[in-house]
A and B are shown apart, each in its own frame.
Chain A
Amino acid sequence: MQIEVQHSPAYAIAIAHLDAGESVIAEGGAMVSKDSHISVTTSAGREGQGALSGLMKGIKRMVAGESFFQNSYVAEGAAGHVTFAPTLQGDVAVHELRQGTMFIQSTSFLCSAPEIEIDAKWGGARSFFGGEGLIMIKASGSGPVAFNSFGGIKEIDVDGSFIVDTGHIVAFEDSLEFKVTSFGRGSRLNFKSLLLGGEGLVCRFEGHGRLWLQTRNTQGFGKLLGRQLPPRES
Chain B
Amino acid sequence: MQIDIESRPSYGMAVVTLTQGQSILAESGSMVAMSDAVTVETRFSGTGSGGFWGWLRAALTSLARMLLAGESMFVNHFTATGDGQQVMLAPEMVGDVEQIPIDKGREITVQSTSFLASGPKVSVAMVWAGLRMILSKEGAFFLRCSGQGPLLINSYGAIEKIEVDGAYIVDTGHLVAFEGDLTWEIEKVGGWKSTLLSGEGLVMRFHGKGTLWLQTRNFQSLISWLTPQLPQ
Scan A177-216; emit 1 where CB is below 8 A from any B CB, else 0: 0000001101000101100111100101000000001011
* Structural contact, A213 and B92, CB atoms closer than 8 A: no
CA distance A151 to B41 in the complex (A): 27
A151-B94 contact, Cβ under 8 Å, with A199-B29, A213-B32:
yes
Smallest Cβ distance from B194 to chain A, in angstroms? 26
Are A9 and B11 in contact, CB atoms less than 8 angstroms apart?
A: yes
- Verify A220–B6 contact, CB threshold 8 A: no
Query: How long is the Cα–Cα vector from A48 to B68 in the complex, in angstroms?
Result: 64
When chains A and B are docked, how far (Å) is the Cα of A228 from the Cα of B35?
34
Is there contact, CB below 8 Å, between A198 and B7? no
List B204-232 residues whose CB lies under 8 Å from chain A.
219, 223, 226-227, 230-232
Q: Report yes or no: B32 in contact with A90, Cβ–Cβ below 8 A.
A: no
Q: Which of B176-215 contact A (CB under 8 A)?
A: none
Residues 79 to 118 of chain B near chain A (Cβ within 8 Å): 88, 90, 92-94
Whether B10 and A152, one on each chain, are in contact in the complex, defined by CB atoms closer than 8 angstroms, is yes
Residues on the B chain within 8 Å of A52, using CB:
none
The tally of residues in B whose CB lies under 8 Å from a CB in A reads 38
B90 touches A197 (CB 8 A): no
A184 in contact with B32 given A89-B94, A216-B94 (CB within 8 Å): no
- Verify A229–B227 contact, CB threshold 8 A: yes
With both chains docked as a complex, state the minimum distance between the C-beta of A193 and any C-beta of chain B, in angstroms.
4
Report Cα–Cα, A34/B30, bound state, in Å.
39
Task: Flag if B35 contacts A220 (CB, 8 Å).
Answer: no
* Highest count of chain B CB atoms <10 Å: which of A91, A202, A216, A224: A216
Q: Which residues of A contact B10 (CB under 8 A)?
A: 9-10, 89, 151-152
> With A161-B36, A164-B33, A220-B92 in contact, is A229–B7 under 8 Å at CB?
no
With A165-B33, A215-B13, A216-B94 given, is the CB distance from A225 to B226 under 8 Å?
yes
Report A27-60 CB contacts with B as 1/0, cut-off 8 Å: 0000000000000000000000000000000000
Chain B: minimal CB distance from A83 (Å)? 20
List 25 interface pairs A-B (beta carbons < 8 Å), by A numbering: A151-B11, A152-B6, A162-B33, A162-B35, A163-B36, A165-B31, A184-B41, A190-B41, A193-B42, A196-B74, A197-B28, A197-B40, A198-B28, A198-B72, A199-B31, A199-B76, A202-B31, A213-B32, A213-B88, A215-B13, A215-B90, A216-B11, A221-B92, A229-B223, A229-B227
